[in-house]
Every structure is written in structure tokens, then in C-alpha cells.
Amino acid sequence: MSLSTTTIQEGLALAARVHKKYKPVWEGREPSEAAALALYFLPHRSTKLELVPTRPRMIKWYCPFADQAEFPTGHRYCINVFTGCEHNCEYCYAKAYEPGHASCKKDFARAFRRDLEELEAYEVPAAPVHLSNSTDPFQHLEAESGQTRFALEQILRYRRHFTSVVILTKNPGLAAKPEYLELLQKLNELPAGHARRDIFAHQGLPGLRVEVSVAFWREDV
């Protein structure tokens, strides 16, 4: 399915207003790609002259602070599966949300599916996705809520819209459980027909990374 000419024009009209900080992500792209990025990430009804990628999303722009001229990362996705984080690390801004506590996001599944459907409908080019910038996707809450598992299953269904899947956790034990391990192994494969499959295979890049951060309070350790 391709975007209609009218939809591409609507997207390009939004893209023309994108703030200069994010412009490098739009520059040099085919009109349909530039329109798709604008339609997915930019607010549609804002009356501001300049737009930033703040459309409310569960699958959202990775870092809305980074200047793309200085840090040319391209568009990337971030999914914060929960609000807050039980680890309560001293150095982390997540403490400001719900100190030492995490909760499930309201209406997470519905909003998550809607975002995936729109990624597909707009044909947004594939990009890396990161779980999670301001919460631990494998903290204890996951064992009772299964929200991270749901998100990963949905990413697997829509795998062609993502390149690398990166999971950052302080609790890799959960990732090693069979029901998660099987899912992670499937996510590691870019499916047939994926736009970057050959490049990943040629460069030996993994489709999935689980990163484990280890915090110490003793420098010698």
C-alpha cells in the first residue's frame, strides 16, 4: 500500500514546519518518507510555526532533546513500558516520576497497537527501537503485568518496521527465562523482505541486544 498524493502533501506540509534541530532527519529523503516521518511524529493540529516530534505516542521519538545536527542519529524509537522505576538509581531522572515505584501505563496496549498500525499505514522507514529510557522493562512489575512481553510480541509482529531492538535492564534474569528467551531469539532475526536484512547479515549485526547496566557504589568494585 502506498500513501495517496493528498496524504503525502499533508505530511510534507507538516515536514516543512519541523524545527531546525530535527531537520537533518528529514533532509535528503524521498517525499513519501519525509511525509511518513512527519505524519507519525509531528503534532497534526498544532498552530505553532515550528513543530517538534512530540505527538503523544507509546512508540515515540528516542530523544526529543538531541540536536540532530550535533548528534545525527536519525529517527529512533523509545518505548517506556512503565512509568517510574523500582531501582530508584540516585543518578537517574526517572526518580522524579514515582520515586522507587513503577506503575503500568493506562491504556498501554490499545495505544501501543494504534502506534504500530500508524507506523504501517504511513510506511515509516524502519529504525532502531530502545526499551526503555526511563524505566527498567524487566523489573518486578513485569512478572505480574507482562507489559514488556506484550510490547516485544507486538514488535515481533511488526518486525519490518524496526531495525535493531535494544533492551536495557538491571534484571537480565527475566530475559533468560524460556518464555522470554524464545521471543528474544525470534526478535534477533530480521524477517525476509526487511529493508535492512542484507546489510545486517553482511555486517554481522545482531537484530537484538540486551544491555545490562551494573551500578556500584564502591569505585574499587
Q: How far is the CB of 83 from ligand SF4 (least distance, A)?
A: 11
Complex with ligand SF4: residue 59 or 94, whichever CB lies closer: 94
The answer to whether 112 touches 58, Cβ cutoff 8 Å, is yes
Q: How far is the CB of 122 from ligand SF4 (least distance, A)?
A: 30
User: Which 166-185 positions form the footprint of ligand SF4 (CB under 6 A)?
Assistant: 170
Number of residues that this document lists for the chain: 221
Nearest 5°: phi and psi at 127? -155, 165
Name residues whose C-beta falls within 8 Å of residue 37's C-beta, 6 or more positions apart in sequence.
11, 15, 25, 26, 29, 75, 124, 125
The answer to whether 119 touches 186, Cβ cutoff 8 Å, is no
d(CA 77, CA 114): 15
Stretch that binds ligand SF4, among 13-21, 44-52, 84-92, 110-118 (CB under 6 A): 84-92
Complex with ligand SF4: residue 92 or 156, whichever CB lies closer: 92
Q: Which of 63, 92, 109, 166 binds ligand SF4 (CB under 6 A)?
A: 92
d(CA 126, CA 128): 7
Which amino acid appears at position 192 of this protein? A
Does residue 134 belong to the site contacting ligand SF4 (CB under 6 A)? yes
Does residue 136 belong to the site contacting ligand SF4 (CB under 6 A)? yes
Does residue 89 belong to the site contacting ligand SF4 (CB under 6 A)? yes
Q: Return the bridge partners of 42, or none.
A: none
Does residue 94 belong to the site contacting ligand SF4 (CB under 6 A)? yes
Q: How far is the CB of 179 from ligand SF4 (least distance, A)?
A: 22
- The answer, yes or no, to whether the previous bond of 132 is cis (omega within 30 of 0) is yes
Residues that bind ligand SF4 (CB under 6 A): 85, 87-89, 92, 94, 134-136, 170
